[in-house]
Chains A and B, each alone.
Chain A
Amino acid sequence: MTTGFQGIPAAIDLIHILDTIEVPIVFVRRDFVIACFNKAAADGLGLSAADVGRTYRDVSVLARLPRLEQQCRQVIADGVEWRADFRDGDRWFVVRISPCSIGDRPISGTVLTFTNVTAFRASTDQAIYEREFTKAILNTVADPLVVVSPDLRIQSGNRAFYTTFSVSRDETQGVPLDEVGNGAFAFRTLRAQFEEMLAGRHAFQPVEVEHVFPRKGQRTLILGAHPLSVPGHSQRRVLVTFQDITARKQAEAAKDLRSEKELRRSEAFLTEGQRLSLTGTFSWKVATDEITWSEQLYRIYEFEVGMPVTLELIRTRVHPEDVSLLEKMKMVDQARGGSNDFEWQYRLLMPDHSIKYMHAVAHATRDRDGQLEYIAAVQDVTVRRISEEALTRARTELAHVARATTLGTLTASIAHEVNQPLSGIITNASTCLRMLDADPPNVDGARETVRRTIRDADRASDVITRLRALFGRKSTTTESLDLNEATREVIALSLSELQGSGVILRADLGDDLPLVTGDRVQLQQVILNLLRNAADAMSGIDDRPKQLVIRTERVDDDGVCLSVQDAGVGFAPEDIDRMFDAFYTTKSGGMGIGLSVSRSIIERHRGRLWAARNDDQGATFAFSIPCAPDTKPRPAVIEPEHAMGKP
C-alpha cells in the first residue's frame, strides 16, 4: 500500500494502526481516485488491492453512495465534515466524509468512514414499531388510561382518556390529575395513596368516584393506579386507570331489586299457598336433629311462630293413639336405612280436645355433605276428613231411608198377599157355618168351602215362606245364588202392586243362567227398585199398553245380566249422567235415591248398572254382575271378538 502521509514518524506503523480499526476507512483523492483503505474496508465493503488507483465510480460500493462526488467537493471546498445515513442492501451505515490534508498543505482529498449502524438501526426501528403498536393498542382500550408523574402531573393518555374527559392532549400535558375533570379526582386520599404506593408500602386501593359528564350524566368510575418502573431507569411514572362501572352497577342494582322482588313474591306465594292449602312444611336434618318449620305448620299445630321445635313439643300435640310423622320417619329411617319417601296420616289432639287430621308426605334427600335430610309437607285435612265422614254418614242414612222406603212398599205387598187368602178363608168359613146351620145342612157345600179354606190357608203359608226366603237370612251374607229364583221371588211379591198399576209384566228369564255370588236381599232390592221405577215411569201412560219386560240372560262368558224394559216416559239424553246421582228424580213423590243406592249395591257386587233409551218408547235399566267363580263355563272355543272383549 502506498503511503501518502508525510511527516508522520516512521516509527509509528500508521497503516498497521488503521488496520486495527474495525471501521472501514477509505481515502479518496480530490480527483476521486482511491488512494488507500484499511483492512476493515476490504473486509466490510469488499474493496480489493486492485481498487487503489481507480476512481470511486469503478468501485461498486462507493458508486452506490448517492451524490458522493458533490458531497466530497463540498467538504473540500468548505473544510467541514459531512455525514449521512447510507443504506447498502440490508446494512445501514453512517458515512462520514472528512477533509483530509497532510501537514499544512491544501486539502488533498477526503477520508470516508463507514460506521455500521445496522444493528442499532434495527433496534431503533423495533422500538419505534413497538411504541406505535403499544400506542395503537392503548388507543383501542375503551377505558381511559393516563400516565402521570409521581407528583400527579399528566404525561400522556390514551384516546379514551381524552375523549372521555373531553380534554385535549395539549391542555392536559403537565397538568396535575386532580385539577382536570373539574376536580373530580381531587379527593383527599388520592395524593396520600400515591405516596404510600410509590414508597412501596402498599398497593393503591381502587377508589370509586362519581363523575358528572356533560353529555353522559353521572357515571361511576373505579380509579386505579399502578406504578410503572423500567429497570435501569430511576424515573418513575404511574399508570392511572379509569373503569366505568355505571352500567354494571345499574344492572346489578336492577338485578338485586328484581331478584329481591322475585324472592319476596315467591315467598309470598309460598306463604299464601301454604295458608290457603292448609299445608305446612318442615325440614329435618337427621344427624343434627335440626328441625325447621314453616309458619303455616306453627299455625296448624297452634304453636307460637318461631318456637324451637323439638320432638317433645310435637308429642304434646300428636294424638296419644297416633305416632307423629317425625317418630314415623325415625322408625322408617332405622328400619330401611333412610332415603325413602313416604306418606303418613295421623291426628293432632289440640288443647281444646278438638281433633285435627294430618296428611303428611316426606321426601328424603342428602345434602352436600351426604347427610340425610327430610323435607316434608303436612296438610291439615280435617275439613276434608269431616266432610268425608259426613258424606259417609249421609250415604248410610240414605241407604237406610231407601231400605225403609223399599220395606214400606214390601209391607204393602206382603199385606196384600196375605190379606187375599185371609179374605178367602173368612168368607169360606162364614159360608161353611151358614151351610151347616141350614136345615137340612148342606154338608157337600160345607165340605167344598172347608176345602177352599184349607187351600187359602196354604196360600197364606206360601206367602210367609216366600217372605222367609226374602228376609230370613243375614243381610250381609254372600252366597252363590240363582238370579232367576231371586227374580221370581221379587216378581211374586210385587206382581199385585204392578197389576194394581195396570202394568203388564212379562218375565223372560234365561234358562242357562250360571249362579252368581252376592247378597240375595240386596240384589232383590235392586230388582224391586227397577220394577217400581219402571211402573212409576208408566203411571201416566194411557195411549199404549203398560208393557214391562224383565229379562235375565248370560253375558259373555263370565256374567249374567238382568234388564227391566218399560214403555214409559223414558228420559232425556242429557239426564243419563245425573240419573244415578243421589236425590235426582223425575218423580214428584220420589226421593231419587233408589238408583244411586242400586248402583252402589251392584258395584259392590263388582258389576255395573246402566240405563238406555229404547228405540220406540221408554227406557231399559239393566245390571250385570259376574257369575260365581266355580260356575264359570269352561271356554271351549274362544271366538275372536270374545277374546278381544266386547265394548
Chain B
Amino acid sequence: MAKRSLVSVVDDDESVRESLPDLLREFGFEAKAFASAEEFLASGYLEQTRCLILDIAMPGMSGQDLQEELTRRRQKIPIVFITATGDETVRPLVLERGAVECLFKPFSEKALLGALNAALSVA
C-alpha cells in the first residue's frame, strides 16, 4: 500500500482541527492539525505535506502571511484556503497568489474533495 499523502490543516478553530482531519483520514489521507501558522512552520512537517488546508483569519500570522512565508521559503505546497468570513473579495486575491482553491465555510465534502484532487494533481 502506497504511503498516504499528508494533508496538513492550520486553523485556530478547534472544531475544525478536530473534525477535518477525521474526514481527511476517511478520504484516505494522512492528516495533521495545527492551531497556528507559527506552529505549522515549527513542526517539521513542511516537507511531507502534500496539501495545506489553511484558514485565512487567525491571530498572529494570518493564512496569507503563511502563504507568503512559504513562497519565500520556496516551499511549493499546494494550498486550499478555508474561510468563515464570507468575504468574496479574498478568493481572487489568494488564487492570484498561487492558491489552488478558496473554500467558504461551511463547505461540502464534494467541494473539499474537488479541491484536494486539484491540489494533488498540481503536485
Which residues of A come within 8 Å of B, CB atoms? 412, 415-417, 419-428, 430-431, 434-435, 445, 448-449, 452, 455-456, 459, 496-497, 499-500, 502-504
Chain B residues with CB under 8 Å of A423's CB are 13, 15-16, 82, 84, 105-107
Q: Is the CB of A431 within 8 A of B105?
A: no
Distance (whole angstroms) from the CB of B36 to the closest CB of chain A: 10
Minimum CB–CB distance for A416 against chain B, Å: 4
Query: Within 8 Å CB of B107, what residues of A?
Result: 423, 426
- In the complex with contacts A419-B106, A420-B13, A459-B15, A500-B85 CB distance below 8 A: yes
Apart from A421-B15, A496-B57, 6 more pairs, CB < 8 Å:
A428-B22, A430-B23, A431-B22, A449-B19, A496-B84, A502-B60
User: Which residues of the other chain, A, contact B22 by a CB distance below 8 angstroms?
Assistant: 427-428, 431, 445, 448-449
Which of A415, A448, A504 is within 8 Å of B86, CB to CB? A415
The answer to whether B60 touches A412, judged by C-beta atoms less than 8 angstroms apart, is no
Q: How far is the CB of A552 from chain B (nearest CB, A)?
A: 22
B59, CB-defined interface residue at 8 Å: yes
A459 to B105, CA, bound (A): 15
What 1/0 flags go to B92-119 for Cβ under 8 Å of A? 0000000000001111110000000000
CB-based closest 3 A-B pairs: A500-B57, A424-B15, A423-B105
List B residues 24-66 near A (Cβ within 8 Å).
26, 56-62
Contact (Cβ within 8 A) A499 B12? yes
Cβ contacts under 8 Å, B19 to chain A: 424, 427-428, 431, 449, 452, 456
Query: Cβ of B85 and Cβ of A420 under 8 Å apart?
Result: no
A420-B105, A502-B62 are contacts. A427–B23 as well, Cβ < 8 Å? yes
How far apart are the CA atoms of A328 and B73 in the complex, in Å? Answer: 86
Interface size class of B (residues with CB under 8 A): 20 to 34
The complex places the Cα of A416 from the Cα of B107 at a distance, in Å, of: 13
CB contacts (< 8 Å) of B85 on chain A: these are 412, 415-416, 419, 500
Report B-chain residues with C-beta under 8 Å of the C-beta of A504: 59
- Which single residue of chain A is at the shortest CB-CB distance from B18? A452
Chain A residues with CB under 8 A of B59: 499, 502-504
**Is A420 a contact of B15 with CB atoms below 8 Å?**
yes
CB contacts (< 8 Å) of B86 on chain A: these are 412, 415-416, 419
A459 to B26, CA, bound (A): 25
Nearest opposing residue in chain A for B104, CB measure: A419
A186–B34 alpha-carbon span in the complex (Å): 132
Bound form: Cα–Cα A426–B23 in Å:
10
CB-defined A-B contacts under 8 Å, sample of 21: A412-B86, A412-B87, A415-B84, A417-B84, A419-B85, A419-B105, A419-B106, A423-B84, A423-B105, A424-B18, A426-B107, A427-B16, A427-B22, A430-B109, A431-B22, A434-B26, A448-B22, A500-B58, A502-B60, A502-B61, A504-B59
Q: What is the chain B residue whose CB lies nearest that of A416?
A: B84
Chain B residues touching A, majority SS: loop
Chain A residue numbers with a CB within 8 Å of B18 are: 424, 452
Whole-angstrom distance between the alpha carbons of A502 and B82 in the complex?
Answer: 17
Q: How many A-B residue pairs have CB under 8 A?
A: 94
Complex CA gap A413/B24 in Å reads 28
A422 CB contacts on chain B under 8 angstroms: 105-106
Docked Cα-Cα span, A499 to B104, in Å, equals 18
Question: Residues of A contacting B82 with CB < 8 Å?
Answer: 423
Of chain B, the residue at the smallest CB distance from A442 is B26
Shortest C-beta distance, B106 to chain A (Å), equals 4
Given contacts A416-B85, A499-B58, A500-B85, contact A431 B26 (CB under 8 A): yes
Give A496 to B18 CA distance when docked, in angstroms: 19
Residue of B nearest to A427 (CB): B19
A424 vs B105: C-alpha distance when bound (angstroms) = 9
Q: Which residue of B lies closest to A497 (CB)?
A: B57
B58 touches A435 (CB 8 A): no
Task: Give residues of chain B (72-86) contacting chain A, Cβ–Cβ below 8 Å.
Answer: 82, 84-86
Q: Which one, A431, A456, A496, A503, contacts B15 given CB within 8 A?
A: A456
Closest to A428 in B: B19
Q: Quick check: A431 and B23 within 8 Å, CB to CB?
A: yes
Q: Bound state CA distance, A449 and B60, in angstroms?
A: 29
Q: Which residues of B contact A452 (CB under 8 A)?
A: 15, 18-19
Most B Cβ at <10 Å: residue of A412, A419, A428, A459:
A419
Q: Is the CB of B16 within 8 A of A424?
A: yes
Residue of A nearest to B108 (CB): A426
Q: How far is the CB of B80 from chain A (nearest CB, A)?
A: 13
Collect the chain A residues with CB atoms within 8 Å of residue B84's CB. Answer: 415-417, 419-420, 423, 496
- Interface pair A420/B87, CB less than 8 Å apart: no
B57 touches A499 (CB 8 A): yes
Q: How far is the CA of A455 from the CA of B16 in the complex (A)?
A: 12
Point out the residues of chain A lying under 8 angstroms from B104, CB to CB.
419
Query: When chains A and B are docked, how far (Å) is the Cα of A497 from the Cα of B87?
Result: 12
What are the residues of chain B within 8 A of A455 when measuring CB–CB?
15
Residues of chain B with a CB closer than 8 A to A435's CB = 26
Of the candidates A421, A448, A449, A500, the one whose C-beta lies within 8 Å of that of B62 is A500
Least Cβ–Cβ distance between B95 and chain A, in angstroms: 19
Q: Please give, as numbers and ranges, the residues of chain A lying within 8 Å of B20 by CB-CB distance.
A: 427
A630 CA / B86 CA spacing, docked (Å): 45
Chain B min CB distance to A631 (Å): 36
Query: In the complex, what residues of A have CB within 8 A of residue B61's CB?
Result: 502
Docked complex Cα distance between A502 and B36 (Å): 12
Distance A185 CA – B4 CA, assembled complex (angstroms): 145
A415 to B85 alpha-carbon distance, docked (Å): 6
Q: Which of B58, B84, B109 has the most CB of A within 10 A?
A: B84
Q: Which residue of A lies closest to B22 (CB)?
A: A431
Complexed CA–CA distance, A423 and B104 (Å): 9
- Across the interface, do A416 and B57 meet the contact criterion of CB distance under 8 Å? yes
Cα–Cα distance between A428 and B13 once the two chains are bound (Å): 14
- Most interface-central of A415, A425, A503 (chain B CB within 10 A): A415
Closest to A425 in B: B106
Residue ID in chain B nearest A448 by CB atoms: B22
Question: How far, in Å, is A547 (CB) from chain B's closest CB?
Answer: 12
The smallest C-beta distance from B56 to any residue of chain A, in angstroms, reads 7
Instruction: Give the CA-CA distance A417 to B86 in the complex, in Å.
Output: 11
| Distance to closest chain A CB from B114 (angstroms) | 14
